[in-house]
Amino acid sequence: MNRLFLNLLLLVASTTAFADPYRWLEEDSAATQAWVGEKRGLSEAYFSQLDSKEIEEELRMITNIDRWGLPKEHEGILYFCKRNGDENKAVLVRKSGETTEVLVDPNRLAREVTLIGFSISPNGRYISYGFSIAGSDQLEWNFLDLQTGCKLLDQLTEIQFSDILWDESCETVYYVKNCAQVMAHKMGTPNSTDTLLYQPNEDIVVYRPQLISNGRYLLVEERRQVAMQVGIRLIDLTNLQSVELIAPGEFDIFPIGSLEDEIILITDENCCMGKLIALDTQKNQRTLIEETGDLLQEVEIVGDKLVCSYLSNACAALKIFDLSGQYLYSLRLPNKGTVAIDSSGETLFYSYTDFYTPTQIYRHDVNTRKTEPLHTPFLNTPEIVTEQVWYTSKDGTRIPMFLTHRKDLPLDENTPVMLFGYGGFGYAITPFFHSYQLRWIQGGGVFAVPNIRGGKEYGIAWYDDGKLHNKQNVFDDFIAAAEWLREKKMGPIGIFGTSNGGLLTGAVLTQRPELFDAAVVNKGVLDMLRFHLFSIGRFWICDYGNPEIPEDHDYLLSYSPYHNVRKGVDYPPTLINTADHDDRVVPMHSFKFFAALEEANGGISPILLRLEESCGHGGSDSREQEVTFGRDLLSFFYSELDCKKETIFSETAVSKE
């Protein structure tokens, strides 16, 4: 019997041995819609009985601050996205001195759209701006004449995960269509005449285009769909010939710009924590900044300086180097938190946030080394502290965990804990701010975030130890965090995770249901045998494995939340949340897991299904969505954990600047 036929038999046997009674919920049929309507009705009845009005009012107070995105500067004028406290969605503005003008306002449109980014033309005459349609990954790019204030007729669609690039003449823009076609659009012409510059083979996707060498070359990243293999391709715009500069390999690579004829890239090839290299069009390579003990996350070329964002024990550090890679100085940050960086000419813009500080925006001059705060909203709250503790996971690995709480809070068996995690795709979980967690902390709870494996907080090895056939390490790390909290006499414990974090909470919920007092599974990947068949699920094979390969299939089956629900088990109270426009982790995952859990539950704890409308995978696209999700999340935890929700906020506690 040949190997291929044997593998097919094994796959069929292992697939047919396990029932999939709720596969019909994968279809957007009348029956599915009726079922969803019925289950939503039960959940709405549950929430209507909870005392959540006070929580909602306090969340509205917390969100009643102005929020800025990172600015771009052109000839002394700042352009950025901004959401005022009383607005539902962010608007695009330009600020000259003390005068701020709204350029694009989604709040005034009849359609359900959200701003996701913008790009200023080199001559400053035009600006392109991207809309997400109802929170989905489907993007639409429009154009505005900044001199006349008129919207142009040009509109680009069929785009996901792609920005718009202007050429120096401002007559042509470049973009990636459907993650597969590199296109050129001549302004003022119909999309049907757009030029196809490059299209890879079917198993390759392209994204993140950049112009280098004064606009001669268009650089794109290529990634194999079923493996974490990223390469670099150059398209010569003078003759439309393309060349593979770096073949996709078993390493990560991230282009950040160019200096003359050299491309500057972050890579972890032959290293663990990342280094900065320069590569010319003839494939000659040199190292600019060597690997250190901290993770190199992001780099910006700012004038004649290199600004590097590092991660040290899951907290940000900013270091400045000259163009030869010589260290110059470090920036002092407000606290141990998270930064994002961008630049315009000689100016660095960076944001700062942590578990209790709303996003602040700063401008830094790399020549004078002076920093200017541009936007520093704050909330006048009781003193809050974040500490980082370490605990031991099942296999002996030491894992760090952030604990954030009021300084005056006694940590004992009456202290409720919200335990949040992710653990996948090399995504490092660093301190972040959200209104729901601040309300939780203010109300006397602990917000706990373990930096479990599967992320890249400690480099590529930390990631490798939490993917493919090492995925159980992720769940063991999270379980060990809960056990450590129990040992320290803290609790009750509610767990919460989104996306891959939803997989995490679903997996540990089915593996150790007695350990947790409540769970929120938000937009999780929950059917691990069929995830690759929907939307962009095939791109996740690099992290999870391929269900069509017997060895991977069996490993996935061992932890797939949907397939490991056991009849008669007393599961803790569980809220499963999804969104109607989530085209990344499609709602069928949540529908099927909820149906299995509801039927199998041997106890009396509520199993609830919540569906957000006009919302995608990212969620909280608007203030209203942020408030209502936070209200239901907190009221669910307060009710099911049977803990007191203290009132902290007053109107005078909130300041916008």
Whole-prediction pTM value?
0.94
What pLDDT is stored for residue 381 in this prediction?
86
Q: Which two tokens stand for residue 25?
A: 């919920």
State the chain's maximal CA–CA distance in angstroms. Answer: 78
How sure is the predictor about 619, in pLDDT bands with cuts at 50, 70 and 90?
Answer: low
Spatial distance between the Cα atoms of 268 and 271, rounded to a whole number of angstroms: 5
Encode pLDDT of 373-383 as tens digits: 999 998 888 89
| CA dist., res. 479 & res. 80, Å (int) | 41
Question: Residue 644 pLDDT more than 90?
Answer: no
The pLDDT confidence band at residue 1, using thresholds 50, 70 and 90, is: very low
Looking at residue 225, its pLDDT comes to 64
The pLDDT assigned to 99 comes to 96
User: In the prediction, which pLDDT does 212 show?
Assistant: 86
Q: Closest Cα to residue 24, out of 591, 481, 404, 414?
A: 591
Length reported for the chain: 657
CA angle 631, 36, 419 (to 5 degrees): 40
pLDDT band at residue 261 using 50, 70 and 90 as cut-offs: confident
Q: Where are the beta strands (DSSP E) in 105-194?
A: 113-120, 126-133, 139-145, 151-159, 165-166, 172-177, 181-186
Query: Quick one: pLDDT at residue 160?
Result: 87
Question: What average pLDDT score do residues 39-51 get?
Answer: 96
Q: Which of 185, 581, 617, 620 is catalytic?
A: 617
Helix, strand or coil for residue 103?
strand
pLDDT of 61-115, one tens digit each? 999 999 999 999 999 999 999 999 889 999 999 999 999 999 999 999 988 999 9
Which residue did the predictor score with more confidence, 30 or 282? Answer: 30
Locate 33 and state its tokens. 């819609």
Q: Is the pLDDT of residue 4 over 80?
A: no
536 CB-contact burial (10 Å; exposed 0-12 / middle 13-18 / buried 19+): middle
pLDDT at site 202 = 74
What's at 171, amino acid-wise?
E
Mean pLDDT of 41-54: 96
Q: What b/e string do you get for 357-376 counting C-beta neighbours within 10 Å, with b at 16 or more?
A: bbbbbbbbebeeeeeeebbb
Three-state DSSP class for 147? Answer: coil
The residue-averaged pLDDT of 178-204 equals: 92
For residue 183, the model assigns a pLDDT of 96
620 is catalytic: no
Phi-psi domain of 637 (left: phi exceeds 0; alpha: psi -120 through 50; beta: other): alpha
400 CA to centre of own chain? 21
Q: Which of 642, 635, 640 is nearest to 59 (CA)?
A: 635
Helix boundaries (H) for 172-234: none
Q: What is the pLDDT of residues 318-347, one digit of tens each?
A: 999 999 999 999 999 999 999 999 999 899
Give the mean model confidence (pLDDT) for residues 468-489: 98
Q: Which of 504, 264, 517, 527 is nearest to 415 (CA)?
A: 517
Say whether pLDDT at 650 is over 70: no
656 pLDDT more than 90: no
The rounded mean pLDDT for the chain is 92
pLDDT at residue 300 in the model: 97
DSSP reduced 3-state for 316: strand
Least confident interval from 53-57, 251-255, 276-280, 484-488: 251-255
Radius of gyration of the chain (CA): 25
d(CA 155, CA 173): 11
- Report d(CA 398, CA 395) in Å as an integer: 9
d(CA 576, CA 593): 8
Mean pLDDT (whole number) for 567-587 = 96
Instruction: List pLDDT tens digits, range 120-148.
Output: 999 999 999 999 998 888 899 999 999 99
pLDDT at 227: 61
What integer is the mean pLDDT of 617-626?
82
59 neighbors 85 (Cβ within 8 angstroms) = no
- Would you state the pLDDT for residue 205? 85
H or E, element range at 11: helix 3-16
Which residue's structure tokens are 């068996």? 413
Domain 33-59+380-650 CATH superfamily: Alpha/Beta hydrolase fold, catalytic domain (3.40.50.1820)
309, 499, 560, 614: the catalytic one is 499
pLDDT at 620 over 50: yes
622 is catalytic: no
